[in-house]
Amino acid sequence: MENLKAVILAAGEGTRMKSKMPKVLHEVLNKTMIDYVIDTAKSCGAEEVCVVVGHKADEVKAAIEKDGVSFALQSQQKGTGHAVMMVGDFIEEDKDILILYGDTPLIQGETLEKLVERHRNDNFGATVISATVENPEGYGRIVRNNNGDFLKIVEHKDASSEERLIKEINTGIYIFKGGDLKASLAKLDNHNVQGEYYLTDCLELILKDGGKVGAVIAEDDKEFFGVNSRVQLAEATKIMKNRINNGHMVNGVTLVDPENTYIGADVKIGMDTVILPGCVLEGNTVIGEDCKIGPNSRMTDMVIGSGVTFQSSTGLESEIGNNTTVGPFAYIRPNCKIGSNVKVGDFVEVKNSTVGNGTKIPHLAYIGDTDAGEKVNFGCGSIMVNYDGQKKHRTIVEDNVFVGCNVNLVAPVTVKAGAYIAAGSTITRDVPEDVLAVARARQQVIEGWKKKKMEKES
Ligand code: UD1
Ligand code: CA
């Protein structure tokens, strides 16, 4: 959408969260509330987003610094109108300005697109999204005349007892013509019960100046749910979870128990993949088709091919190729590139390593800072000894190597293609191609030892 900008208000303290952290940085399914709002503003076509920060401004800024996002500082919170004044020249006369709140993460791009369309088609100076709710306590009320035309918004604290009966409330989401917003902000006063500059008063001012103002009733009032407490944070998470999970099921992903499946908003999952109960999939995780994930698995920023089985395991910031099986109880730490048809079995930890196609690490192993080739077999108890107490070193294990059980490869060390490492070896020097390397004490047999011992003891 052209000529559209968005202002997000996020200066408030959010005392009811009882938190050291600014409210808008609290997370819903592993993504901060403010990030949802920024992404939604961008997804509906806002070319630039300005976030008004105040309480713990530096923390908020640091957490959301990204392209197309600028900041305005409101050092004292003197009301929503005052907050918008702080953005100054970000408001351009000939552009439309969306106003959103940093603590309403459930708002959807489509809804905003419809708002913009309505606003433009009807040539409104300002358009607000309203909602009809059972309990309007605390919200600003939409006051209409007998014809049903918008008159003004009155805050709960300023409302007469009759006005308090009104069930149509202000969601706090608006779009303004930049010129009208600027002109009305210039006239705003704080003559009200709270002594604040109310953004809501701008709408009445625009009407008085001969402009048109629209109030469109929301189809789904859940979208405007604002989070003020931890209880509401959990409610928002539940709504978001349902929305995300339904989306995946509609797209052909089986969620065996959607109530107990926690998938982040930006996760992508291919068709016919089955997600078993107790999974937490976070960040920019991408999962291919025909995978079986879970039960009880966590992934953060993982890229998984198709046909992968990932059972009761954790994977962080790594890639896994097609038809690989992981777990149960594997731990894949950041920066791994694991190939296709690999087996990463039970109690295996892999970190900062590449693992070639067809390699097997079936059980009880530590593969750290290692480049393993194709069709390598790591026996039970293979340990890549990567740390000398000061520095980490890399291990290279080339294609078709057979690492016997209970082997230490002390890095830096290279095992050339096709070599065999005898069980129980501690390898400290490079191993040439196709040899058998044995690095353990030879077995000794002491004849008659038991007899001697018994004689001594008697
Ligand atoms: C506001 C609306 C009310 C509406 C309600 C919906 C006004 C005057 N009232 O009331 O009509 O029904 O939202 O939730 O606008 N903020 C700042 N700086 C400030 C004050 C607020 O950045 O000086 C931010 C807050 O961080 C928050 C948002 O603006 O994200 C809303 O502020 P809040 O104090 O919750 O507004 P309400 O009084 O609930
Ligand atoms: Ca509020």
**Ligand 2: distance of its center to the CA of 33 in Å?**
14
**Ligand 1: distance of its center to the CA of 146 in Å?**
28
Atom of ligand 1 nearest to the CA of 11: 22
All domains of the chain, ordered by start, with CATH? 4-224 (3.90.550.10), 313-437 (2.160.10.10)
Asked about 82 being catalytic, the answer comes back as no
List, in order, residues 6 or more apart from 357 with CB less than 8 Å away: 321, 339, 340, 341, 342, 374, 375
**Ligand 1: distance of its center to the CA of 3 in Å?**
25
136 CB within 6 A, ligand 1: no
Strand duo 436-437 + 413-415: pairing? unpaired
User: How far is 99 from 138, CA to CA, in rounded Å?
Assistant: 20
Sign of CA pseudo-dihedral 385, 389, 394, 396:
negative
For residue 57, the ligand closest to its alpha carbon is 1
List, in order, residues 6 or more apart from 132 with CB less than 8 Å away: 167, 168, 169, 217, 221
**Contact (Cβ atoms closer than 8 angstroms) between residue 153 and residue 140:** yes
User: How far is 257 from 131, CA to CA, in rounded Å?
Assistant: 32
User: How far is 239 from 244, CA to CA, in rounded Å?
Assistant: 9
Give the count of alpha carbons within 13 A of 425, CB side only: 20
* Ligand 1 mutation target, pool 80, 137, 143, most atoms within 8 A of CB: 80
Q: Nearest to residue 46, comparing CAs of 86, 6, 94, 105?
A: 6
Rounded average pLDDT per 10-residue block, the chain, 458 residues: 95 93 96 96 95 96 90 96 98 98 96 96 97 94 96 97 97 97 98 97 97 94 92 97 98 98 98 98 98 98 98 98 98 98 98 98 98 98 97 98 98 98 98 98 95 94
Peptide bond into 22 cis (omega under 30): no
232 CB within 6 A, ligand 1: no
User: Tokens at residue 443, please?
Assistant: 């077995």
Atom of ligand 1 nearest to the CA of 10: 26
List, in order, residues 6 or more apart from 29 with CB less than 8 Å away: 237, 240, 241, 244, 262, 263, 264, 265, 282
User: How far is 3 from 444, CA to CA, in rounded Å?
Assistant: 85
Tell me how crowded residue 135 is: count the other CB atoms within 10 A of its CB: 8
Atom of ligand 1 nearest to the CA of 226: 14
294 CB within 6 A, ligand 1: no
174 CB within 6 A, ligand 1: no
Atom of ligand 1 nearest to the CA of 23: 26
80 CB within 6 A, ligand 1: yes
User: How far is 179 from 171, CA to CA, in rounded Å?
Assistant: 23
Tell me phi and psi for residue 263, to 5 degrees. Answer: -115, 130
Q: What is the DSSP letter of 369?
A: S
Q: What is the DSSP letter of 451?
A: H
Q: Look at residue 1 in the predicted model and tell me its pLDDT.
A: 80
Strand duo 27-28 + 31-32: pairing? antiparallel
Q: Nearest to residue 66, comparing CAs of 20, 98, 34, 110?
A: 34
Per-chain residues with Cβ under 5 A from ion ligand 2: 226
User: How far is 65 from 425, CA to CA, in rounded Å?
Assistant: 51
99 CB within 6 A, ligand 1: no
Q: What is the DSSP letter of 158?
A: G
11 CB within 6 A, ligand 1: yes
Strand duo 279-282 + 298-300: pairing? parallel
Angstrom distances, CA of residue 271 to CA of 17, 261, 275, 306:
39, 17, 11, 10
128 CB within 6 A, ligand 1: no
Q: Look at residue 67 in the predicted model and tell me its pLDDT.
A: 81
Q: What is the DSSP letter of 359?
A: -
For residue 138, the ligand closest to its alpha carbon is 1
Atom of ligand 1 nearest to the CA of 102: 30
Outline where 365-427 has alpha helix (H): none
The SS3 of residue 257 is coil
User: Tokens at residue 384, please?
Assistant: 């890549």
**Ligand 1: distance of its center to the CA of 80 in Å?**
5
